[in-house]
Structure 1
Amino acid sequence: MPRIPDTDLQRLKEEISVQRLVEASGVALRKGGKDFTGKCPFHADDTASLVITPHKNLWHCFGCQIGGGPIDWVIKARGVSFRHAVELLKEELAGSASVPSLAADAVPVKRSTVRALPAPVALDADDHALLAQTLDYYHQRLKESPEALAYLKTRGLDPALHPTLIDTFRLGVADRTPGLRLPEKNRKDGAAIRERLQKIGLIRESGHEHFNGSLVVPVFDAAGNIAEAYGRKLRDDLRPGTPKHLYLPGPHAGVFNLVGVVAAGQCLEGERDVILCEALIDALTFWCAGFQNVTSSYGIEGFTAEILAAFKAHGIERVLIAYDRDEAGERAAEKLAAQLIGEGLEVLRVVFPKGMDANEYARKMSPAAQALALVLRQARWMGSGRPAPVESIQAEPVDATRPEARPSLAARTGAPGAAPAPTARLADDNPGDLPGELPDELRMPTGACEWRIRAWKKIPRLRPCA
């Protein structure tokens, strides 16, 4: 479960006035020196044993022998959990009109069974809408989650450098807060909505969120409906046996970044190729580095008939398998290559340094975009025969805000009739960073030493398909 950032807690403790919360609860306070006193609403109090210390923003009841700050007051006054109290105060601080004011009378309660926060979904929505609304809620939560944004940055997917990434792929984070907003499960509506969320795979039988503590990546079909969702745990310090990669229950569905596959199929004949990754994070890495003709399997055994059907329906001619460079990835790439070649597709293997995947390679190489272009350019031909050497590949910037207008990039062969070499597509959020402006040397730190790759500019560049 994602922990609440200390900065968020500190802000609530400093910016939410305990005195205002107590007075708004109907407690009359009288000034006594630097403090204020009043009758505690949590027990029969005839002696004004409640003390408020404004300069410390704390409260204490000498009768109950309890006290604390703004969060503690809301927990006691509203009968809610710590996380629920934090969410209430955050909404109050934001001035949300949809949240009942915390000025409600403070009465001693054991635990509230009426949710004060608005529900993230419509209780009468159908299953498709329920899934979409939940993932839209996750999407909004990610934009407010320092932990999730920091995770993206550590994976080389920094939203500051790629400002369209989060909205383009509707990335989200599951942080356990939907349960604080749904009606309680002991109420009719609460039990019904939880049963439906469990049916579509967002809640487990235990009542916990399926994707709790994960970055959530939805996969859309051609109509824009969510067909699949992938979750990657934000933290690696998990209990042994806890899976880091999650999907919705049932068979995999949908094609990740289908728009990129469609665009690849619109290139000229001989230039229609797609990069196929092992994991969605790797595919996002290629996309951020400027290669838009990318999609992903759902793990080493997760290449589906639907992905193959999309390749064939959109006229894809060539697949660059960019699976991890480990034993499992190599075996899966060989097996998949045989299948794709049998379907009439040309196949090349993108070869990373041993033991690396696309994301790790991109994070260790600088600049990442040119490093990925290098391994694409040097992808190993699979199957019988071998393509002729490529004479030149060039690139040009595109408008990253208009996905449908981004031109594909393709290789040209040196000999007539020879099979084309690997191609790529540029989706750089900063079109000014053209290959000609990049350093003359690639650097790859590997612990005790740093590898330097020189003369890469002599390698032919990418050319857009006309």
Structure 2
Amino acid sequence: MGSAVDRGGDRESRGRAMNPNFDQIKKTTDIVRVVESYGIALKKVGADHVGLCPFHEDTKPSLRVTAGKGLFRCPACGAAGNVIQFVAKKEGLTEREAALKLCGSIPGVMRASELPTAGEAAQPRSLPSLPSVDEATRAKLLARVAGFYAKTLFKDRAGLDYLKARRLDDPAMLETFSVGYCNGTLRNALPKAGEIIGQLQAIGVLNERGNEVFYGRVVVPIFDAAGNVVSLYGRRLDDEQPRHLYLKGGHRGVFNGIAAKTSQSLIVTEAAFDAMSLWAAGFHNAISLYGKDGWTADHETLIRENGVTEIVLALDNDERGREAADALENKLSGLVESVHRVMWPEGVKDANAFFLSRTAEDFRALLPQPVRAARADEETAGKEEITLTPEGFTLAVAGRRYELCAIEKPRRAHAVSGRGLCRTGAGKRLHSRRSG
């Protein structure tokens, strides 16, 4: 972790350290000194120390270290946890290995009490140079990784059982969002060495030790406007920190951003799971932030380029969620025509918690009246009505009527459905003409 080392140490203390007391380490280790030992300059701001986050390409200080609680968090990328988890994430270690480092039981590693001060901050250890990965290769690699995790979800019950407990196991929803699970088997499917290992390390799928960064998490890919996978979101199956994890390199894309192409009204949640809960309940116009402070330039671009006129804020039902909604409402005031808020019932934390015991009708009742009326019109306009005629049938959808008629033609035929034309064999050809 740094240049100061503990090469000797008595056997007794070393033996005790091989079974580290996690609680004791968290209580007695100065997290500020640990963070500064990586060469990260921290500045005292109120109760926190603020600096550049080492877990994404941070250009303005977003890392918050709270010495009194022994915790760190980054609202920008979602990284959060205690001192052991900081070291584990920074070094690519398990939490036990990180704890052993902090108590000085591994040769070549300084004890927590021997960490340098800010003025003596250790130089970051040199790492093997990683290959440069162009955007096209990055997108292909992420798509393959997301596809592997999506298959793993149905091979390892842990991820699916977790989603089922949160009522997020709707098959259509899982398929639509390519939801997956990382159980560590991707590494077994890769060669032991070679270009792809370095590439996956460079884009943040593997850490510097070659282990999977999203191990033990449900993984959801995030797409850009062109349909490329540009990021990954991972949620731990337990409540250990950090519960939420994003691919390194800054936030890119918007979860379910494609909704803006078909709806001028969007429901905005804090996290992907909340938006997924809404989608499974029939509200397909739900998108998510990257946490409470996770509004990005990509969100703004999505709204501007697709002509979104209305936003419904459905952030978490706590103080920080309400503060985030206040700030976001101000940002949106000049961007869209109207901004509304969902007022959750008392005791309901967020959208996912709401749908654990309530229905789509219950949620619809929480929407402001103008939003309910607009949604009713949208649902009516989106319904398909098929009427048989002597020559074929008519299809009415989205305010338009399509008439489909049969025309004789030898040796070749097509069939028509509400989804489009497809060839069937021989006998007749059907063509369509639009009216109305």
The TM-score normalised by the length of structure 1 is: 0.50
The structure 1 residue matched to 2:177, chosen from 144, 169, 172, is 169
Instruction: Report matched runs for 1:2-17 at 5 Å.
Output: none
Q: CA deviation at 1:183?
A: 2.2
SS at match of 2:329: helix
Aligned partner of 2:302 in structure 1 is 310
Q: Give the aligned residue type for 1:364.
A: S
1:243 maps to 2:254: no
Distance (Å, rounded) in 2 between the aligned partners of 1:207 and 1:127: 17
Q: CA deviation at 1:274?
A: 0.7
**Structure-2 change in CA distance of 1:129 and 1:286 (3 Å):** same
**Structure-2 change in CA distance of 1:130 and 1:325 (3 Å):** same
1:195 maps to 2:198: yes
The structure 2 residue matched to 1:146, chosen from 142, 154, 157, is 157
Aligned partner of 1:231 in structure 2 is 234
Q: CA deviation at 1:354?
A: 3.9
Aligned partner of 2:256 in structure 1 is 257
The structure 2 residue matched to 1:333, chosen from 317, 325, 340, is 325
The structure 2 residue matched to 1:222, chosen from 225, 236, 243, is 225
> Looking at CA atoms only, which structure, 1 or 2, has the larger radius of gyration?
1
Query: How many aligned residue pairs are there?
Result: 251
SS at match of 2:267: strand
Q: CA deviation at 1:398?
A: 5.0
5+ long unaligned stretches in structure 2: 1-135, 385-395, 400-435
Distance (Å, rounded) in 1 between the aligned partners of 2:364 and 2:372: 16
Q: CA deviation at 1:250?
A: 1.7
Instruction: Report matched runs for 1:35-184 at 5 Å.
Output: 126-158=137-169, 162-184=170-192
**Structure-2 change in CA distance of 1:148 and 1:277 (3 Å):** same
Q: Is the 2:142–2:230 contact (alpha carbons within 8 Å) kept by the matching residues of 1?
A: no
Distance (Å, rounded) in 2 between the aligned partners of 1:391 and 1:177: 46
Aligned partner of 1:372 in structure 2 is 363
5+ long unaligned stretches in structure 1: 1-124, 185-189, 265-271, 379-386, 400-404, 409-465
SS at match of 1:348: strand
**Structure-2 change in CA distance of 1:193 and 1:261 (3 Å):** same
Distance (Å, rounded) in 2 between the aligned partners of 1:263 and 1:333: 24
Distance (Å, rounded) in 2 between the aligned partners of 1:171 and 1:388: 29
**Structure-2 change in CA distance of 1:230 and 1:398 (3 Å):** farther
1:322 maps to 2:311: no
**Structure-2 change in CA distance of 1:207 and 1:391 (3 Å):** closer
The structure 1 residue matched to 2:354, chosen from 342, 356, 361, is 361
Q: Give the aligned residue type for 2:304.
A: K
SS at match of 2:333: helix
Distance (Å, rounded) in 2 between the aligned partners of 1:362 and 1:254: 26
Q: Is the 1:169–1:218 contact (alpha carbons within 8 Å) kept by the matching residues of 2?
A: yes
Deviations 1:427-462 (A, max 9, x none): xxxxxxxxxxxxxxxxxxxxxxxxxxxxxxxxxxxx
Q: Give the aligned residue type for 2:197.
A: R
SS at match of 1:126: helix
Deviations 1:73-131 (A, max 9, x none): xxxxxxxxxxxxxxxxxxxxxxxxxxxxxxxxxxxxxxxxxxxxxxxxxxxx9332222
SS at match of 2:332: helix
Distance (Å, rounded) in 1 between the aligned partners of 2:197 and 2:247: 16
Q: CA deviation at 1:228?
A: 1.5
Q: Give the aligned residue type for 1:316.
A: V
Q: CA deviation at 1:144?
A: 1.9
Q: CA deviation at 1:388?
A: 11
Q: Give the aligned residue type for 1:371.
A: D
Identity of aligned residues (%): 38
SS at match of 1:343: coil
SS at match of 2:311: strand
- Which contiguous aligned blocks of 4+ residues in structure 1 show a shift greater than 3 angstroms? 387-399, 405-408
Q: Is the 2:152–2:180 contact (alpha carbons within 8 Å) kept by the matching residues of 1?
A: yes
Deviations 1:374-413 (A, max 9, x none): 11246xxxxxxxx7996994655858xxxxx9969xxxxx
Deviations 1:313-338 (A, max 9, x none): 11111100110010110000000000
SS at match of 2:367: helix
SS at match of 2:171: coil
Give the structure with the larger strand fraction: 2
Q: CA deviation at 1:343?
A: 2.5
Q: Is the 1:326–1:354 contact (alpha carbons within 8 Å) kept by the matching residues of 2?
A: no
**Structure-2 change in CA distance of 1:348 and 1:205 (3 Å):** same
Q: CA deviation at 1:196?
A: 1.3
Aligned partner of 2:421 in structure 1 is none
**Structure-2 change in CA distance of 1:358 and 1:364 (3 Å):** same
The TM-score normalised by the length of structure 2 is: 0.53
**Structure-2 change in CA distance of 1:389 and 1:255 (3 Å):** closer
**Structure-2 change in CA distance of 1:177 and 1:318 (3 Å):** same
Distance (Å, rounded) in 2 between the aligned partners of 1:357 and 1:248: 24
Distance (Å, rounded) in 1 between the aligned partners of 2:211 and 2:231: 19
**Structure-2 change in CA distance of 1:135 and 1:210 (3 Å):** same
Q: Is the 2:317–2:344 contact (alpha carbons within 8 Å) kept by the matching residues of 1?
A: yes
Q: Is the 1:289–1:372 contact (alpha carbons within 8 Å) kept by the matching residues of 2?
A: no
Distance (Å, rounded) in 1 between the aligned partners of 2:312 and 2:199: 40
